Amino acid sequence: MTLRLFTAALFALAAALPARAFTPESGFYWNAAEPGTGYNLEIQDNFFALTAYVFASDGRPQWYTATGTLSGNARYTGVLDGFTGGQCIGCPYRAPTAQLGAGGAITLAFTSETRATLTVGGRTLTIERFDFYLTRGQADPKTELMLGEWEMLIDLYDRNGSQYQDYPYTGDLLIFDALDRAKTPDYFVGCRPTSSESGRCTAAAIDEHDAAGFFSAGNGEHVLVVKDTPGTAFTDAIYFAYFVKVGTYQFDGVVEVYDEDETPGNGPFYPVRGFRTASRNFVQNGSGPSADAKLEGRAPRGLAATLAERAPSAGLSAAEVKARYGIDPVALAADAAAITATLSK
C-alpha cells in the first residue's frame, strides 16, 4: 500500500522556481564574542532599518542608523549615519545633529532566519539574533525552541501547469508540549490537537495524532513527524514528515507524506511555512478527555485523505529541495524514520 500512487499519475518535470530558502527576522542582533555592542534590525516588507549601539574610539557611546530597501530577499548595502548632541534622559528635548555617512559603508547579508554577515568599518563579522528568553539558559536550546504551538501552510502548487488548482493550499497545526530526554538526541513531543482553539494535547489527540521531532545537529535543521492517521486492522498508519529550518517564531522547509510501509526521504516534497502561534507556557497548562477510534477498527480521517481527493500535482524532488532550500531530505531521512518509529501506529 502506498500514498505515492495518487501523485504518480500527475508527475511531471518542470523548471525550478525562484529560491526562497528562508525569511529574515527582525530583532536585536549581536556578536557573542563582542558583548556590549549590538544592532537592532527591523524589516517591514522589503524596507530595512538598522540602529547600531556602539562606541567611539575614545570610548564614548555612539549610535548610528541606516535605512533603505533590501536587495532581493536578504541583503542590504548602504551607509551609517551618525548622530550627536541630542537629548539626555530627563532633559528638555534637544534635536540631535546628523552626521550623514559618518559611520562609513555597511553591508549586511542574512545567511539564515536569525544569522547574518555584517561588513562595517573594514571588518566582517557574524551576528545573530539575541535570545532574551525563549531558549536562553536551557540545556538544549535548539530542541526546547520548538515547545509551543505551530501553524503551517502547505503549498501543493502544480509545477507544470496542466492540473492547476484554484486554491492549492492547505494547513496543519502541531503542538509540542514536552521533552523526551530518554532519546538521543532529546525529542520534543506533542500532537496535532483536536481543535485549533484548544492549545492542548488531549489524550485523544495524542492517541490519534501524536507528534515528535528533534534537532539534527549535523544538518543544522529540525525534523518533525506527525501521525496523520492511526493504523487499524485494515489500514496502515500514515505520517507527515516536516524538514525545516527554524528561526525564532517561524520556519521554512518541506513536508513529505508516507505510510508505515514506506521509508521517508524519497519524496515527493511540498513547500511549507510555519509560524509560532502559542508559547511554551500556554501549551503546557491543560489536559483533555480520552478517546480511541482504533477500538472500532477504523481510523479518523486524516489530512492525507484530503490531499488525495485534491489529486495534488507532483511535488519537489529531493534534488530540487536541496537546491532551493538548502535542506537535504535524503540525509535527514533516517532521522525522520527514527522519529516515526517512536510514534504509535
Strand partners, 245: 252
Strand bridging mode 187-191 / 169-180? antiparallel
Cβ proximity of 103 and 64 under 8 Å? yes
Contacts 24+ apart (CB under 8 A), 129-138: 129/25, 129/27, 129/28, 129/29, 129/247, 129/248, 130/27, 130/28, 130/29, 130/30, 130/38, 131/248, 132/28, 134/248
The secondary structure of residue 159, as a DSSP letter, is S
Distance CA 188, CA 211 (A): 9
Task: Tell which residue, 138, 142, 141, 136, has the closest CA to residue 28.
Answer: 136
pLDDT digits 0-9 by tens, 272-285 = 999 998 888 888 76
pLDDT digits 0-9 by tens, 56-82 = 888 888 889 999 999 888 899 999 999
What pLDDT is attached to residue 308?
63
Cβ proximity of 27 and 39 under 8 Å? no
What pLDDT is attached to residue 312?
54
The secondary structure of residue 276, as a DSSP letter, is E
Distance CA 42, CA 28 (A): 9
Q: What is the pTM of this model?
A: 0.76
What pLDDT is attached to residue 293?
37
Distance CA 331, CA 264 (A): 11
What pLDDT is attached to residue 149?
92
Distance CA 91, CA 114 (A): 37
What pLDDT is attached to residue 288?
31
Q: Which residues of the chain have pLDDT under 70?
A: 1-21, 137, 158-166, 285-301, 305-314
What pLDDT is attached to residue 301?
65
